Amino acid sequence: MATAELAGKKRTGWTWSLIRQGWSTVLIILIWHMIATYGPYPRFMLPTPLEVVMRGWHVASSGFLWEQILASLRRQVIGFGLAMIIGMSLGFILGISQKARTAMIAPLRMLYPIPGLAWIPLAILWFGIGDESMIFVIVIAAIWPVMFNTISGVDAISTTHLRAAKSLGANWWTMFTRVYLPGSLAFSITGMRLSFGTSWRVIVGAEIIAASTGLGYMINNARSILRGDELMVGMVVIAVIGYITEKVIFDYLEKATLDRWGMRAAN
């Protein structure tokens, strides 16, 4: 009985949470509709939400939308994956080794402020227009948040834990897998969230400038032919993919890993 009551409370809590999160979205859509209907802009510049939905159905039914989504996601998955490998590796190296940090941190901090989009001309010069240049831009833009957050996570590990592990004879692999990795995991996951958002914005911007496929290309092409409804379809899809990734993938990853390593009490 207690289990059934608890399940019912969880369902009710989930429903109210969904309502609280959804009302602001509904309000934004209503404001958008009012401005598009009665505002100063012509419809080709600011279509109504219904017109955007209808255009979205059309481009999805034709297969064009799915082709652009898959092109962007393919570049994102490859580039983000490479950025996580490089960024976390550098983060652990610089966090654990003071000598490596002293030698490398200055040039890395000089590269960090350069915007991802600023690398596009160089990427095109090196790799040409195509997936290689897009992936390069994603990597160079996404490594920084996860790298610096991983360094902060290593720095936050208690020296008492480090000394205890060493006094018990832990080798470097045990230190990494049982102390450094779980101890910095919360920071690293935060860095991954930031890196994904950064890389997702950069890939769309890069596709607007130098691609013949992808959601960024779709948006730029719609602008050139004055299809505001199709342009906004691309923007909505970008927002939805980002939201789903944030709420589903990273929330699950955070819960699974932090509970697994005992960083917080499991529900």
Q: How far is CA 82 from CA 29, 45, 65, 138, 140, in A?
A: 37, 38, 26, 9, 10
Whether residue 266 is predicted with pLDDT greater than 70 in this model: the reply is no
Joined together, the tokens standing for residue 16 give 């109210």
Whether residue 185 is predicted with pLDDT greater than 90 in this model: the reply is no
pTM: 0.79
More confident residue, 166 or 12: 166
| Lowest mean pLDDT segment, chosen from 9-18, 69-78, 161-170, 182-191 | 9-18
pLDDT band per the 50, 70, 90 thresholds, residue 19: low
pLDDT band per the 50, 70, 90 thresholds, residue 89: very high
Residue type, 40: P
More confident residue, 82 or 209: 82
For the chain, give every domain's residue range: 1-40, 47-260
Sign of CA dihedral 243, 244, 245, 250: positive
Half-sphere exposure of 183 (CA within 13 A, CB side): 23
CATH class of 47-260: mainly alpha
Residue type, 232: M
* Mean pLDDT, residues 188-211 taken together: 86
The whole-number pLDDT of residue 128 equals: 83
Rounded to whole angstroms, the Cα distance separating 65 from 59 reads 5
Please report, rounded to a whole number, the percentage of residues in the chain having pLDDT higher than 90: 28
What average pLDDT does the chain have?
83
The whole-number pLDDT of residue 265 equals: 45
* Mean pLDDT, residues 175-188 taken together: 83
Whether residue 20 is predicted with pLDDT greater than 80 in this model: the reply is no
Q: Is 82 exposed, middle or buried (0-12, 13-18, 19+ CB in 10 A)?
A: middle
Whether residue 206 is predicted with pLDDT greater than 90 in this model: the reply is no
pLDDT band per the 50, 70, 90 thresholds, residue 236: very high
Looking at the chain, how many residues does it have? 267
CA–chain centroid gap for 47, Å, is 28
Radius of gyration of the chain from its Cα atoms, rounded to whole angstroms: 23
Sign of CA dihedral 137, 154, 178, 90: positive
| Lowest mean pLDDT segment, chosen from 77-81, 104-108, 128-132, 198-202 | 128-132
More confident residue, 246 or 118: 118
More confident residue, 6 or 166: 166
Please report, rounded to a whole number, the percentage of residues in the chain having pLDDT higher than 70: 88
pLDDT tens readout for residues 110-150 = 998 888 888 988 988 898 888 888 899 999 999 999 999 99
Whether residue 101 is predicted with pLDDT greater than 80 in this model: the reply is yes
| Lowest mean pLDDT segment, chosen from 49-53, 93-97, 257-261 | 257-261
Longest dimension (CA), the chain: 73
